Homo-oligomer: A and B are copies of this chain.
């Protein structure tokens, strides 16, 4: 988008999503080495950006995981519809059938007769049976997976296999404990797979990508950009995403009262379900709609720029229209976050 017009970070209006290009490329390369080609089915919900997905595809990961119909539509429109898994149940698949007709390969997760019927009615031709492996969310009970696969085949759709997401284990602090519990979950998934059949056993995420050796493909997404929650879980990927802010107000210490500064990075620029973001070298006090109040460290001046590290990458990105790829002070490219909404 910005070819020929090199810009500097200092010229960006704030708040602005920044991607450290070197860290991002290192994350992609490290993951591609660990899970080459189709062993990784990157989840686009983490970044909602087709330009970023194209980088993942260029490294050999040509199948993608989506969480919404909008994400599937956008990936197809971007020419990335070779093998898309909507890893989520929907009751209205009517926007998917025309994409399949036009040549996209779209597989939809089903965990009930109703979601199977919706997929069939919408013109979807391939499904995975979504299996509950311990996270109380979507997924049919393992022992009923074979029954649903039979219903699906009787409905005339292809059953490609199973998926089961051990999302409740992603942040388990001790890796050995995380691995042991992942194995238990995957035993449930493999038992279901024995009843269901098909080539695909899909699951896993950034927190279990290295230890989930039972699935045929891992659905990791956060690894590309990272956040403070996953960093705290001890993963080897680098924090590539920050939100650039400007200090709009600063109050000096007075007597015993500490000073503080306010940056223009607030609740509308940050996913907050994992708590406050971090500001390196400072202590975050609280966030308001358009403000982040922080203290500690060397007091910044009004006009200074700060890099804010989000606690949860996915909902943070969903609040932004674009992300800027930077190396040092140079903005090398700008990508639209084009898969937002529903």
Contacts and interface: CB of A to CB of B under 8 A. Distances in A.
Contacts of A319: 318-319
Contacts of A293: 136-137
Given A45-B289, A287-B273, A303-B114, A314 B267 contact: yes
Contacts of A24: none
A141 B251 CA distance: 8
B289 A115 contact: no
Interface in A9-43: 13-15
A315 B13 contact: no
A232 to B, nearest CB: 18
B137 A89 contact: no
Contacts of A227: none
Interface string A267-304: 11101110000000000010111110100000001110
Contacts of A301: 114
Nearest to A257: B136
A137 B294 CA distance: 9
Given A15-B342, A273-B287, A312 B249 contact: no
A103 interface: no
A231 interface: no
A235 interface: no
Number of copies: 2
Given A45-B290, A248-B89, A267 B262 contact: no
B132 A251 contact: yes
Interface string A232-260: 00000000000000101111001000001
Contacts of A303: 91, 114
Interface size class of A (residues with CB under 8 A): 35 or more
A82 interface: no
Contacts of A141: 251, 254
18 contacts: A13-B92, A15-B342, A45-B289, A112-B249, A112-B302, A114-B302, A115-B248, A136-B285, A137-B249, A137-B291, A138-B248, A138-B262, A139-B249, A141-B254, A267-B314, A268-B315, A269-B342, A271-B272
Which 9 pairs of residues, A with B, have the shortest CB-CB distance? A89-B248, A138-B249, A272-B273, A114-B302, A267-B315, A268-B318, A67-B290, A272-B272, A112-B302
Interface of A: 13-15, 45, 67-68, 88-92, 111-112, 114-115, 132, 136-139, 141, 167, 246, 248-251, 254, 260, 262, 264, 267-269, 271-273, 285, 287-291, 293, 301-303, 312, 314-315, 318-321, 341-342
Given A15-B342, A267-B315, 10 more contacts: A13-B92, A14-B342, A45-B289, A91-B248, A111-B249, A112-B302, A115-B249, A138-B249, A138-B291, A268-B314
